[in-house]
Every structure is written in C-alpha cells, then in structure tokens.
C-alpha cells in the first residue's frame, strides 16, 4: 500500500485527479469506479479542470458509481445521480450511456442489483476504484457486519451513517434508510484502488482500517489485502499514521 499525506487540499486534489487523468490518457477506454460524499468533490473539480484544459477526454471511458439511496427520486438534489451530474458528468464528455449508477427507484431492487453486476462484468475489470471512508469504516455503503456481501446488494444504513449524511439533508429523518451498494468483492476486484480520506474526525478510523486487524467489523480493513492500494490523506486524517 502506498500512503501519501498532504499538507494542502489543493495538492491532494491534484494528485488524486492526476492519477485518474493519467490512467485515462494511457487507456482512453478505462473503466472507472466512482464515489460520492464530501471527500471526492475537490478531485472532481480538478478532473473537470484537466478536461477543460484539454488534457483528457472521457469519451471512450465507462464509469460505475458505488452506490445510490433507495427511494430518493433521481432528480432529488441529494441523490447520487444529482451529485454526479452536478460535480462531474455535466462538465465532461463522458457519454451518459457509459456512466452508470445503481437505480435506487427500480421496481425490483434485487433485479436491479443483478443487472448492475452484469453490466460491471460485461465492462470487464474496473481499472480504478475511487473510495471515500465512512466514520464506521464503511466503503461504498458496505456497513460493518458479521459477513460482507460480494456483489451489489440492498443495505440498511447504519444510524451512524444516516446521522453523518444528515448534513446534506434538512434532518436525519429525511436521509433514506436503505441504499444499493456495490459489494466489497467487486470493489476488491478493481485493478487499483484510490482511497481518499480527509479530516481529523477520520484519523482514528483510517488508522484502524489500514493498520488494524482485517475484519468485517471494519469493511475498509479488507483494503489491506489489495495489491494496488493508493491512499491519499490530508494531514488531519493522517495524524495517527
Ligand atoms: C457516504 C458514501 C461513501 C462515502 C462515505 C464518506 O455515505 N456512501 O461512498 O465514501 O459515506 O462520506 P464523506 O466523504 O461525505 O465523508
């Protein structure tokens, strides 16, 4: 694992976006695994800037998002569909038909999970999976549990996760209680994983995830087993490393 700690958010964003831009420059047909949440916003801004400066085109790339809330209309401002459009998709040339996000409003959610896994399988391997980290060690929406699920599945969100995400909604009651998430098996199958963590409130969990026991109680700890894991931390999140 390669852990880099940055003294400025700007450098962290440039490095994160630089890795993605570099990958797509070398392999224009790259399959990208994308994440949401507060963490990757700055990286997406930098990617948009790379695109606008003509450094990279996403025309032949494909993307798969990690997760989506269940039951939140796709055009709700806090849906991950809206998030991705707002922060990335509408600013770059990635064709809409090649940008995939699980449909949390499908009539048959189980069938939607299978459809999503089939699309990922058809695309071949995910070349780079971008990840943030939940305060309880979740990745995507794979919450701590006795057992983790390999493929895309419906998950009941932990109260802690709903509270953490309440900052994006008017109240915690408005945060959906379920989501669809790519499974840990799919995440670990990516050729490269780019984990980004920011903020003092994540210092303990990132230390536990990367140096503690490998356990389903902390899903991110499974990342220790990945052969090509790159971790970008700001100084606060990297305080205990
Ligand atoms: C969210 C997302 C994750 C994200 C994590 C951390 O709920 N489902 O993909 O990495 O929790 O979010 P944030 O970056 O806002 O701290």
Q: Give the distance (Å) from ligand 1 centre to CA of residue 54.
A: 30
Pick the CATH number of 2-234 from 3.10.180.10, 1.10.4030.10, 3.40.50.1360, 2.60.40.420: 3.40.50.1360
Q: ipTM of the predicted structure? A: 0.96
Concerning whether 136 is annotated as a catalytic residue, the answer is yes
pLDDT digits (tens, 9 = 90+) for 46-90: 999 999 999 999 999 999 999 999 999 999 999 999 999 999 999
141 lines ligand 1 (CB under 6 A): yes
pLDDT exceeding 90 applies to what percent of the chain?
A: 100
Domain limits, the chain: 2-234
pLDDT of residue 128: 98
Q: Give CB contacts under 8 A, 24+ apart, made by 102-105.
A: 102/65, 102/67, 102/68, 102/152, 102/180, 102/181, 102/182, 103/68, 103/74, 103/180, 104/68, 104/69, 104/70, 104/71, 104/72, 104/79, 104/176, 104/179, 104/180, 105/70, 105/71, 105/72, 105/73, 105/74
Residues of the chain with pLDDT below 50 are none
pLDDT of residue 180: 98
134 lines ligand 1 (CB under 6 A): yes
pLDDT of residue 10: 97
Look up the pTM and report it: 0.97
């Amino acid at each position: 694992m390669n852990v880099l700690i940055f003294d400025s958010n700007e450098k962290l964003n440039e490095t994160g976006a630089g890795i993605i831009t570099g990958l797509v420059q070398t392999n224009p047909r790259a399959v990208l695994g994308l994440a949401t949440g507060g963490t990757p916003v700055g990286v997406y801004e930098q990617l948009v800037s790379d695109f606008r400066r003509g450094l990279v085109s996403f025309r032949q790339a494909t993307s798969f998002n990690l997760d989506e809330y269940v039951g939140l209309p796709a055009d709700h401002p806090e849906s991950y569909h809206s998030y991705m459009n707002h922060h990335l998709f509408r600013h770059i040339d990635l064709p809409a038909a090649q940008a995939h996000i699980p449909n949390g409003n499908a009539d048959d959610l189980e069938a939607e999970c299978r459809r999503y896994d089939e699309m990922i399988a058809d695309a071949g391997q995910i070349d780079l999976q971008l990840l943030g980290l939940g305060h309880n060690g979740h990745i995507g929406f794979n919450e701590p549990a006795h057992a983790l699920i390999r493929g895309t599945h419906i998950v009941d969100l932990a109260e802690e996760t709903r509270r953490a995400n309440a900052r994006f909604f008017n109240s915690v009651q408005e945060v959906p209680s379920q989501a669809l998430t790519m499974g840990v098996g799919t995440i670990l199958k990516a050729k490269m994983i780019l984990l980004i963590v920011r903020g003092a409130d994540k210092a303990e969990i990132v230390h536990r995830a990367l140096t503690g026991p490998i356990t389903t109680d902390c899903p991110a700890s499974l990342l220790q087993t990945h052969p090509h894991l790159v971790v970008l931390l700001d100084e606060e999140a990297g305080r205990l490393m």
